Structure 1
Amino acid sequence: MHEHTAQGPVSRWLSTAQPEALFVLSAVAQYAGAAIAVLLFDQVEPQTVGWFRIIGAAIALLAVSTSWWRGWTRQQLVGVALFGVATSLMNIFFYLAINRIDLGKSVTIEFIGPIAVAAAMTRTRRNAVALLFAIFGVAILGGVEVDENAIGLVYILIASALWAAYIVIGSKVARVDRGVAGLGLGLAIGAVVTIPFGAPWSGPVWVSPTLLALCLVVGVFSNAIGYGIDQFTMRRIPIRRFSLLLALLPVTASFIGWIALDQAPSPIDLVGIALVLVAVSVQERDEIERVEATVLTDPA
């Protein structure tokens, strides 16, 4: 998706900065938002924080989009709506998961979704090997959780499946070429559809300006800033390079979880994470997936 607007100082910097630096900056923004969210879980239910994240991101993205309310065909609106609902549900289930599983492990387990999509689309021997590495890594991490935390594992696997849906549906939204407007409008629709998930427990947020501000800031960090940076990064790098950069996501999440949340990974966790990183690094994509790569960034 591309935004056809005049380039200001920030846009010019984003268009010229090193892609690796932008990718790390995007990952830091996303998982800094997730770390803030985890700290809010003592006062607000995770699904409610996820819901406000969607609202905050939608407001921010639509505020910087031009003419986002017009020019859509019916088919495009259906695609945008499905994209937004899938993304919103993915955010909510991801937060339900990280309330029970460490941030770094959650992000790593969630990778099974996009890796499976890449393997299914290309059906090469290399991608089959990548998928096996991912399955082994996720099995190790999942095995650590399943005895005492089966529900957390279920939540993150649902988020992983929704991430796969996000990639497939999002690739079609990307072809509409409306910049971040499609994402913003989709999240606005998703916020409405997910009212039953977040609104029933939202009372404490509405009466506390601090909680409301923090919940909305989570959306700005995790979705608006993170996704906005990714729009610039994905335009400038080839698919294979982006595949390698994807490996930075669980590493960044593990580091932020360790520093901000005191979630130090155990040796067995590191083995599982390493196997998934290998899977991310060895997978390959054909030319058909060039558009998919523009949305293959961690939406959690």
Structure 2
Amino acid sequence: MAPASHGSSAPGGLAATLLPVAALLGSIVSLSVGTSYAKQLFPILGAEGTTALRVGLSALMLVAIWRPWRLRPGRADRRALLRYGAVLGAMNLLFYLSLRTIPLGLAIAIEFSGPLALALAVSRRGIDFAWIGCAILGLSLLLPLGDLSTGLDPVGVACALGAALCWALYIVFGQRVGHLHGGRAVAIGMSVAALVVLPFGIAKAGTLLLQPAMLGIGLAVAALSSALPYTLEMVALKRLSKQSFGVLLSLEPAVGSLAGLAILGEHLTPTEWLAIACIVVASVGNTVTSHRGRVAAAAALTPV
């Protein structure tokens, strides 16, 4: 959201409001499109090889941009960076493994349960139980647990749930390195992630990873799914409130579903769209009510 001093009626104020929104939406679209094209490499490189190619090239890009060797972390920060990078690598690998048998939008929706559960775990208000119920309903429609589920592949679902857990841990460990230089910390984390996934990728794809054609496609995927989204998110974070950022980010499962439909031809059933809608509503609702709760708590502590 634009600062209050910039009126939306003025052209500059309107631009200041729309620019960060457009940047974050562009980040979400870029990530979804990049992942859709990455999935097309699965028949050649496998999910493991594609992950290694994407994460490895992303790490090289980020290292070239941020020059992380200038960072001088202490021992505790080095351990935190290792944990941060390790869960980042595991999250990417498990997410791509889930895409072997699950449509992109559904995999993103299941993965979203990780940070959503983390946010709801610290909530104690009655309204939060509504968002918990909404999220559980959405997941119950996707998980292969009963007659109402859409019958997704259990292994793919398990991988997506593993990615969800890693995303929650990624947030926890990311907060512990939040005091470091953002770009350099991400570059180190992505480098550690590359070391985690490269053995799996090499075992699966071998020398195919070094073919010029694969490297060219991998560079495009890495740019679309890492470098460009990260840059656009940095633009958005500087100008959007946490509430607005969280609400817009909650659209990612829906955008991923549309990208999967347009690029991969992944058609979802009405039940699957309903499941995605439930998870999006739960994420948006939690973001909005959490923000209002913090505002109310701050107001209560403010002297009259």
Question: 1:184 corresponds to which letter in structure 2?
Answer: A
Whole-Å separation in 2 of the counterparts to 1:120 and 1:146: 27
- Say yes or no: does 1:285 pair with 2:286: no
- Say yes or no: does 1:102 pair with 2:103: yes
Query: How big is the alpha-carbon RMSD for the aligned residues of Structure 1 and Structure 2?
Result: 2.4
- Say yes or no: does 1:257 pair with 2:254: no
SS of the equivalent of 1:194 reads helix
Change (3 A) 1:245 1:60: same
TM-fit CA distance, 1:244: 1.4
Whole-Å separation in 2 of the counterparts to 1:134 and 1:68: 42
TM-fit CA distance, 1:195: 3.0
User: Which residue of 2 is the match for residue 3 of structure 1?
Assistant: none
Q: Relative to structure 2, which stretch is displaced further, 58-67 or 265-274?
A: 58-67
- 8 Å CA contact 2:68, 2:187 repeated in 1: no
User: Which residue of 1 is the match for residue 64 of structure 2?
Assistant: 63
- Say yes or no: does 1:167 pair with 2:168: no
Whole-Å separation in 1 of the counterparts to 2:293 and 2:89: 26
TM-fit CA distance, 1:165: 0.6
- 2:162 corresponds, among 155, 158, 171, to 158
1:170-249 matches, cutoff 5 A = 170-176=174-180, 178-249=181-252
Question: 1:114 corresponds to which letter in structure 2?
Answer: P
Q: CA-to-partner distance for each residue in 1:151-208, whole Å, 9 max, x for gaps?
A: 01101000011111111111222222x1311111111112113333222123252452
Q: CA-to-partner distance for each residue in 1:226-245, whole Å, 9 max, x for gaps?
A: 12221221232222222211
User: Which residue of 2 is the match for residue 49 of structure 1?
Assistant: 50
- 1:149 corresponds, among 153, 163, 166, to 153
Question: 2:280 corresponds to which letter in structure 1?
Answer: L
Q: CA-to-partner distance for each residue in 1:45-77, whole Å, 9 max, x for gaps?
A: 101111121111111111111454432112112
Q: CA-to-partner distance for each residue in 1:228-280, whole Å, 9 max, x for gaps?
A: 22122123222222221122211110110010001122111111011111101
User: Which residue of 2 is the match for residue 93 of structure 1?
Assistant: 94
Aligned residues: 276
Question: 1:285 corresponds to which letter in structure 2?
Answer: S
Question: 1:245 corresponds to which letter in structure 2?
Answer: L
TM-fit CA distance, 1:212: 2.1
SS of the equivalent of 1:263 reads coil
Q: Relative to structure 2, which stretch is displaced further, 54-63 or 240-249?
A: 240-249
TM-fit CA distance, 1:128: 2.7
User: Which residue of 2 is the match for residue 72 of structure 1?
Assistant: 73
Structure 1: give runs of 5+ residues left out of the alignment.
1-13, 290-300
Question: 1:37 corresponds to which letter in structure 2?
Answer: A
- 8 Å CA contact 2:55, 2:190 repeated in 1: yes
Larger radius of gyration: 2
Whole-Å separation in 2 of the counterparts to 1:288 and 1:81: 34
TM-score scaled to structure 1, two decimals?
Answer: 0.85
Whole-Å separation in 1 of the counterparts to 2:247 and 2:25: 12
Whole-Å separation in 2 of the counterparts to 1:15 and 1:212: 38
Change (3 A) 1:70 1:275: closer
TM-score scaled to structure 2, two decimals?
Answer: 0.84
Whole-Å separation in 1 of the counterparts to 2:210 and 2:131: 48
Question: 2:250 corresponds to which letter in structure 1?
Answer: A
Whole-Å separation in 2 of the counterparts to 1:133 and 1:265: 20
Q: Relative to structure 2, which stretch is displaced further, 81-90 or 198-207?
A: 198-207
- 8 Å CA contact 2:143, 2:157 repeated in 1: yes
- 8 Å CA contact 1:90, 1:159 repeated in 2: yes
Structure 2: give runs of 5+ residues left out of the alignment.
1-14, 295-304
TM-fit CA distance, 1:90: 0.4
- 8 Å CA contact 1:47, 1:93 repeated in 2: no
Change (3 A) 1:22 1:122: same
Change (3 A) 1:203 1:196: closer
Whole-Å separation in 2 of the counterparts to 1:29 and 1:282: 25
- 8 Å CA contact 2:140, 2:149 repeated in 1: no
